[in-house]
Structure 1
Amino acid sequence: MSYLKIYIHIVFSTKNRIPYFSTLEKRIKVWRHIKENATEKGIFMDIVNGYSDHCHCLISLSSNQNIENIVQLIKGESSYWINKNCLTKEKFAWQEEYFAVSVSESMVEQVRNYIKNQHIHHQKKTFEEEYQEFREKYNFM
């Protein structure tokens, strides 16, 4: 048997960064659905959270999974579900781009806390500022 533990921090935003998830109630509903659907699809999602215009996921890949397919499953199914349940006034979509970075075992708890505390984090900085920080920190320039 092979043993794998590969953590990936994934971040993606709503199309055109429209703040569709402006209420806590809506965010809870969407994040809960994303986590439940991931579990049903055999994706180990450690934590999911975000803010009004973006989503953070911490996942662990299994030996038969790759990042592109996982992100496509998460974003595609959640878009379909959001539209089917009329959670937005207009047609909902996620932006095509996403960030995905590996997380070492020693940093998992720190990343978990960062994702869990998005509501606090975004009282201090916008998603645009966070986006720029990610680009600089991980050399995505």
Structure 2
Amino acid sequence: MAENNTYTQIHIQLVFAVKFRQALIQNEWKDDLFKYITGVIQNRKHKLLSINGMPDHIHILIGLRPNQSVSDLVQEVKSISSKWINENNFIPFRFEWQDSFGAFSYGKSQINDVIRYIENQEKHHYKKSFREEYVDFLEKFEIDYNEKYVFKELI
């Protein structure tokens, strides 16, 4: 067996929304969804550190392994979880995630704060909308963005 001497410490917070930011994730099945997504991430050998969200979006903090790109992982999580939601008929029409996502990196010293932030989503959203929260992330991380493409809403 070949020796593996690749060592990494890559912490990424993933943020993505329900298509058109519709509030479709229900409390009755939210925890099961989070457990299902946790399994998808762990089956790909990444480490799930925290997951939580609101009816229209979720936050996931992971320890990313270098064997898969962030984009490929998010695509798999969205694809597999939306299929699971639809197969379980949790909503009376087709569930979809928004095409886009956010991925934000953190150092080890920041992890506990990020976990606390994710665990307290309900509290944060008393004060600000998901859109405001997301734009704050983009600005904090100095990411250039076009306002027109920040999570499309149903018109």
TM-score when normalising by structure 1: 0.92
- Of 94, 97, 114, which aligns to 1:94? 97
Shift in CA distance, 128/63, structure 1 to aligned 2, threshold 3 Å: closer
> 2:7 aligned with 1:6, yes or no?
no
Distance in 2 separating the partners of 1:97 and 1:63: 21
Equivalent residues, number: 140
- 1:26 equivalent in structure 2: 29
- Of 47, 50, 61, which aligns to 1:47? 50
CA contact (8 A) 1:14 1:95 kept: yes
> 2:48 aligned with 1:60, yes or no?
no
Query: What root-mean-square deviation, in Å, do the aligned CA atoms of Structure 1 and Structure 2 show?
Result: 1.3
Distance in 1 separating the partners of 2:127 and 2:27: 17
Structure 2 letter corresponding to 1:6: I
> 2:111 aligned with 1:108, yes or no?
yes
40-49 or 94-103: which moved more?
A: 40-49
Alpha-carbon distance, 1:24 to partner: 2.5
SS in 2 for 1:65: coil
- Of 114, 127, 130, which aligns to 2:133? 130
Distance in 1 separating the partners of 2:110 and 2:94: 37
Deviating beyond 2 angstroms after TM superposition, the runs of 4 or more aligned structure 1 residues are: 23-26, 40-43
Unaligned runs of 5+ in 1: none
- Of 62, 71, 74, which aligns to 2:74? 71
Identity of aligned residues (%): 36
Deviations 1:2-51 (A, max 9, x none): 22110001100000000001x42322121121112222232321111110
88-97 or 23-32: which moved more?
A: 23-32
- 2:20 equivalent in structure 1: 16
66-75 or 23-32: which moved more?
A: 23-32
CA contact (8 A) 1:12 1:94 kept: yes
TM-score when normalising by structure 2: 0.84
